[in-house]
């Protein structure tokens, strides 16, 4: 009996090691939900080696240089709740660049705000047309989701290029990342976030302010939702106080410039080969 139990334990350990060693490369469409160990006391957030390796393979980002007090401000815009104008006013007043990841619904219902984003120097990123779980759609559907956002943005703003993607709900896979890469996109996740999107559970500007300041770190990529009243009311104080701490707000183009350039060069070379 003891011998049988020993064999079962050994078999279980071997199975655990085998399963644990299977990487996302082995299952290219294994859904991955973005997550990380939150930053504290200025120590940057960490996603872990497996996630870091996946992002590196696909030229993706979730934070910048931990030795530089740079901050990258990003917003997800699925729909409008009346606060984006205030956010834009603050960004303009404080001369801070940002990236807004928009959906098809946002583009169709808020064309004036999208035009203003571009006019005032901000970047518009791709958050997909219908906001689906991209790991659950076909290759063709995924490309269509991205292309429709790009085309509508160009129609509204005249901007022909769209470089950045943030997958809905932070769900992705090796397959979806590779497909988006082929379309010329750089994935941008985040290293600072909190529960700010529930419009019926807003807790006041101080809640937003405290969550941001508690997690801030050099190289932080902030994810905020413009549907949040808390965020809109806290943003000016956040920006001013972080500037006082020596932080500089930069564009995603500053973060990804080399990567974007390298990928475009690689894609051009591949086209010549084909």
Q: Is 25 helix (H, G, I), strand (E, B) or coil?
A: coil
Beta bridge partners of 220: 63, 71
Q: Is 254 a catalytic residue?
A: no
Asked if residue 216 lies in contact with residue 71, where contact means CB atoms within 8 angstroms, the answer is yes
Tell me how far apart the alpha carbons of residues 151 and 8 are, in angstroms, rounded to a whole number.
58
Active-site option among 122, 131, 217, 225: 225
* CA 134 vs CA 75, 155, 173: distances in Å: 19, 24, 8
DSSP assignment of 99-112: EEEE-HHHHHH-HH
Contacts of 203 (CB under 8 A, 6+ apart): 230
Which neighbouring-strand residues pair with 139? none
Q: Is 225 a catalytic residue?
A: yes
d(CA 61, CA 36): 13
Catalytic, out of 70, 76, 196, 230: 76
Q: Which of 210, 166, 146 is nearest to 75 (CA)?
A: 166
Nearest to 63 by CA among 187, 228, 238, 173: 187
Task: Report d(CA 45, CA 54) in Å as an integer.
Answer: 16
Nearest to 142, CA basis, from 165, 161, 158: 165
- Known catalytic residues are 76, 225
């Amino acid at each position: 009996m003891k011998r049988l139990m020993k064999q079962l334990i050994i078999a279980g350990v071997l199975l655990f090691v085998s399963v644990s060693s299977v990487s996302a490369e082995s299952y290219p469409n294994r859904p991955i939900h973005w997550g990380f160990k939150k930053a504290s006391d200025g120590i940057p957030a960490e996603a872990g080696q497996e996630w870091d390796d996946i992002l590196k393979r696909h030229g993706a980002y979730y934070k910048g240089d931990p030795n530089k007090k740079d901050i990258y401000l990003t917003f997800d815009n699925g729909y409008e709740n009346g606060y984006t104008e205030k956010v834009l006013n603050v960004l303009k007043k404080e001369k801070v660049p940002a990236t807004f990841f928009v959906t098809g619904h946002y583009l169709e219902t808020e064309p004036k705000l999208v035009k203003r984003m571009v006019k005032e120097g901000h970047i518009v990123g791709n958050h997909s047309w219908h906001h689906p779980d991209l790991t659950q759609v076909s290759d063709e559907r995924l490309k269509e989701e991205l292309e429709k956002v790009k085309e509508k943005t160009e129609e509204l703003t005249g901007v022909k290029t769209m470089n950045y993607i943030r997958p809905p709900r932070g769900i992705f896979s090796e397959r979806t990342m590779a497909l988006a890469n082929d379309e010329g996109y750089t994935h941008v996740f985040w290293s600072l976030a909190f529960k700010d999107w529930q419009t019926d559970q807003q807790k006041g500007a101080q809640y937003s302010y405290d969550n941001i300041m508690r997690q801030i770190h050099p190289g932080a990529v902030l994810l905020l939702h413009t549907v949040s009243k808390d965020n809109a009311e806290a943003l000016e104080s956040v920006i001013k106080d972080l500037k006082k701490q020596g932080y500089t707000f930069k564009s995603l183009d500053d973060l990804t410039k080399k990567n974007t350039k390298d990928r475009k060069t690689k894609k051009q070379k591949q086209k010549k080969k084909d």
